[in-house]
C-alpha cells in the first residue's frame, strides 16, 4: 500500500467543499495535528482569502517552514509541486457535483448573493445575453480545470486531451473522491481510503448553503450551461460509474 505523508483537499467551488474543510480540520485535531500543520482557509483562524494562490512569497515561505500536513483550499491539482509546498507523497481528495446544479449554485452564491461583477440581486434569467454568455464561458468545466493543472486562465476551452488527463488524475492519482449528492457514502468511502495517520470519525457538517432566493432557470439557459459544460458532464458521469465500484 502506498505511503501518504500529507493530505490535500481540492476544493472545487460549490461542490460541498466548505463542509468538507471544517470536517478535515476537526479530523486533523482529533489526530493530534497542530494548527500550524493544517492550512484550511476559513477555519482555525486562517482568513478565507488565504488560498495558496493568494499567498505572498513571505507567506509561502512560512507555509513551507510549518511543514503543513493537511491542506484544504481552492487550489488546483498538483499544487504541492507547483508551489514547492514541502508536502510529500500527498493523498489528494476532492468532491464533484452535478455540473448544471454546480454552475447555478456558483452564480447564485458568488454573483446574485455576494455581488461579484456588480450582479448582486440579479437573477440569472435576467442577465443580458452577452453577460450570460461571458459568465457561462468563465465558469464552465471548473471541475475538470481543478482536477487538471493548467496555467491557463478560466474561460479557456477544454478539449479531449484535457478531459482525458483530468479523468486519469481522478481515477489513478487522487487517493479518493466524493460525490456531493452522495455525501454520506462519500465520507464512508474516504474513511476506508484515507492515510492511516488521518483516522476519520465524524459525520459531515452542512455549511455555506445558498441563501439567495431561488427561481426556475429557463430551459434555454439550462441548455447553454449544458453545452458549455460538456466535458464536466462527461467527467461527472465517469465519476459516478467509478464511484459505484468503491
φ, ψ (nearest 5 deg) of residue 90: -75, 145
Q: What is the pLDDT of residue 149?
A: 76
- Reported as a single tens digit per residue, the pLDDT across 73-124 is 999 999 999 999 999 999 999 999 999 999 999 999 999 999 999 999 999 9
CATH number of 6-243: 3.40.50.300
What is the share, in percent, of the chain residues with pLDDT greater than 70? 93
Record the pTM. Answer: 0.93
pLDDT given at position 206: 72
pLDDT of residue 203: 76
Spell out, as residue ranges, where the chain has pLDDT lower than 50.
211-212
pLDDT recorded at residue 225: 98
pLDDT at 48: 94
Amino acid at each position: 500500500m502506498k505511503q501518504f505523508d500529507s493530505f490535500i483537499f481540492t476544493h472545487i467551488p460549490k461542490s460541498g467543499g466548505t463542509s468538507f474543510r471544517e470536517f478535515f480540520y476537526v479530523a486533523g485535531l482529533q489526530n493530534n495535528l497542530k494548527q500550524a500543520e493544517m492550512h484550511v482557509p476559513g477555519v482555525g483562524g486562517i482568513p478565507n482569502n488565504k488560498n495558496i494562490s493568494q499567498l505572498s512569497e513571505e507567506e509561502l515561505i512560512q507555509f513551507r517552514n510549518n511543514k503543513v500536513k493537511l491542506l484544504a483550499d481552492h487550489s488546483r491539482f498538483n499544487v504541492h509541486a507547483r508551489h514547492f509546498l514541502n508536502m510529500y507523497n500527498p493523498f489528494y481528495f476532492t468532491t464533484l457535483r452535478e455540473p448544471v446544479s454546480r454552475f447555478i449554485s456558483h452564480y447564485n452564491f458568488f454573483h446574485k448573493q455576494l455581488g461579484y461583477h456588480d450582479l448582486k440581486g440579479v437573477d440569472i434569467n435576467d442577465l443580458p445575453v452577452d453577460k450570460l454568455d461571458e459568465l457561462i464561458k468563465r465558469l464552465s468545466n471548473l471541475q475538470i480545470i481543478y482536477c487538471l493543472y493548467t496555467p491557463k486562465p478560466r474561460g479557456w476551452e477544454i478539449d479531449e486531451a484535457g478531459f482525458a488527463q483530468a479523468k486519469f488524475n481522478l481515477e489513478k492519482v487522487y487517493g479518493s473522491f466524493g460525490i456531493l449528492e452522495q455525501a454520506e457514502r462519500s465520507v464512508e468511502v474516504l474513511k476506508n481510503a484515507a492515510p492511516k495517520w488521518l483516522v476519520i470519525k465524524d459525520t459531515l457538517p452542512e455549511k455555506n448553503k445558498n441563501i439567495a432566493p431561488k427561481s426556475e432557470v429557463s430551459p434555454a439557459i439550462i441548455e447553454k450551461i449544458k453545452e458549455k459544460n460538456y466535458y464536466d458532464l462527461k467527467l461527472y458521469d465517469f465519476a459516478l460509474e467509478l464511484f459505484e465500484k468503491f
